Amino acid sequence: MEKLYLEELLQATGGKLLMAPQGEMQTNAVPPAEILSVVTDSRKITKGCVFFALSGERFDGHAYVDASLKQGAAGCVVSKEPESMLPGKFYVLVEDTRHALGDLAHFYRMKYDVKVVGITGSVGKTTCREMVASVLSRHFRVHATSGNFNNDIGLPMTIFGLSAEDEVMVLEMGMNHLGEIRRLSQIAAPDIAVITNIGTAHIGILGSRENIFRAKKEIFEGMSSGSQAILCGDDDYLPKIAVEPALLARHRVFYAGKGAICSYRVEDAHVEIGSVDANAFEAEMSTVCTIRMPDGRDTLQVRIPAAGMHLIYPASIAAGVGDLLGLTSEEIRAGIEAFSGQRMACEKYGDILLFDDTYNASPDSMKSSLQVLACLPVQKKAAILGDMLEQGDFAQQLHREVGAAAAEAGLDTLITVGELSEDMADEARLRGLMDVRSYPDRESAAQAVEEITVPGTALLFKASHSMALDKLAAISRKKAESLMR
């Protein structure tokens, strides 16, 4: 973070300055106090920082104000007037410390001549963010979100990491309620907006995909007239933006994907599988495709270093962002091929491929993993899927959607585990998948998993973490290893 001054903090937040009296002579002048960093966690106080006393349902940062100041914080931002004040420290009183954090982040962002790319969507935000950052880093000094710092606390903290040398900032924006993306966009003021898709994440809170669509469109509300957007053209909701006069009057909108609406169009995509080395139980997979640039200007042949047809979307979006910011075709290609972001790990035992993706599951991530399985050049494909928890009243509908996706993926075998997944199995049968086996728990599914672990098969294991399908993956792994002896 570059240095800020107390006067700037007051200007950004509209706060009231409070300080302990010092001697008989008092002045209304704001002292020239320097702020070297912004901290919201009292355990991470650094000398010269400003501590924001955030409050939540289970914590109140005001309880740690005195300790933070004694540990070296220059001052604090509070929403409760302190009963006493430490000499030589400043206190800025605001109505809402969380809102003030965003206001200061916006002020800091606007101090620098930096292009901001804001990325939102129901699924694939992180992969898209990392792909875009990889491409832009071929030409610019890039600062980007790390981890899951994508809410109204994490995004401001990412912005405070911006330095005067940075030229582009890539920010991920998450939400689970209406109004959240609007606020993040107001803070970040993106020059280029990206929406990856309109899925079903948080549908239990928002109530419908239409509401999710409305929430994602809020990204435009913090953008200036003349700013740009790149959207997934193969989503069933996002092309509607192309016929919204109010949006098109203010913003230039482009699409990326496979469809006819796409300016950055993907063709001839396929997956290739190799081995890291002969002795490693790991497969090296890549997705190869062609990206056609607008108006036939150029054609990029790219190799994405991960497997999955879903990766053509962050790749084509990244190509579009790079193009809008003036990168050459060779820089865009190099950035895509240098991508090292999230991917589904593949274990290779002879000609058995095992995907242990059992850490968590949502309807969108389930479908994405099935798409990876669908495009693999193998003899047989099997998915062992378990319950997706915390789906509320939409649980039955969403499990059926995954069952339909399993049938469309061209599986040879689907094994489901858990009560909720019975709907998944029923829908897969209705859609024509012949070999569907449904089990109430892991133990009853164990023998079937061992039976289908045979040479020439790719197996996907995925469910919510508490379903512990990693134990079934271990059974398959042991069988696959034994077949290599």
Residues 6 or more apart from 63 whose CB is under 8 A from it? none
The Cα–Cα gap between 145 and 158 comes to 6
The Cα–Cα gap between 189 and 166 comes to 16
E-state strands within 221-318: 228-232, 252-257, 264-275, 283-292, 299-304
- H/E/C letters for each residue in 198-248? CCCCCHHHHCCHHHHHHHHHHHHHHCCCCCEEEEECCCCCHHHHHHCHHHH
Burial class from Cβ neighbours inside 10 Å (0-12, 13-18, 19+) for residue 90 reads: buried
The Cα–Cα gap between 343 and 110 comes to 34
Q: Mind listing the pLDDT tens digit of every residue in the chain (485 residues)?
A: 999 999 999 999 999 999 998 755 455 688 899 999 999 999 999 999 999 999 988 889 999 999 999 999 999 999 999 999 999 999 999 999 999 999 999 999 999 999 999 999 988 899 999 999 999 999 999 999 998 899 999 999 999 999 999 999 999 999 989 999 999 999 999 999 999 999 877 777 888 989 999 999 999 999 999 999 999 999 999 999 999 999 999 999 999 999 999 999 999 998 887 665 545 566 677 899 999 999 888 999 999 988 778 899 999 999 999 999 999 999 999 999 999 876 677 888 988 999 998 988 888 788 888 988 888 888 999 999 999 987 778 899 999 999 999 999 999 999 999 999 999 999 999 999 999 999 999 999 999 999 999 999 999 999 999 999 999 999 999 999 999 87
End-to-end CA separation in angstroms for the chain: 56
Report strand pairing: 75-78 vs 49-52: parallel
124 token code pair: 């694939």
In this structure, which amino acid lies at residue 105? Answer: A
Burial class from Cβ neighbours inside 10 Å (0-12, 13-18, 19+) for residue 63 reads: exposed
Where along the chain do the CATH 3.90.190.20 domains lie?
347-482
Q: CATH number for 347-482: choose from 3.90.190.20, 3.40.50.2000, 3.65.10.10, 3.40.50.10260.
A: 3.90.190.20
Largest CA distance in the chain: 88
Secondary structure of residue 283 in the 3-state scheme: strand
Where along the chain do the CATH 3.40.1390.10 domains lie?
4-96
Q: How far is CA 73 from CA 67, 69, 97, 168, in A?
A: 9, 5, 16, 30
Where along the chain do the CATH 3.40.1190.10 domains lie?
112-337
Helix axes 312-324, 329-337, angle to 10 degrees: 140
* Domain 4-96, CATH homologous superfamily name and number: MurE/MurF, N-terminal domain (3.40.1390.10)
pTM: 0.82
Handedness of CA 207, 209, 210, 211 (dihedral sign): positive
Could you count the other beta carbons within 10 Å of the beta carbon of residue 190? 28
User: Is 86:140 a contact under the CB 8 Å cutoff?
Assistant: no
Q: CATH number for 112-337: choose from 1.10.4190.10, 3.40.50.1000, 3.40.1190.10, 3.40.1390.10.
A: 3.40.1190.10
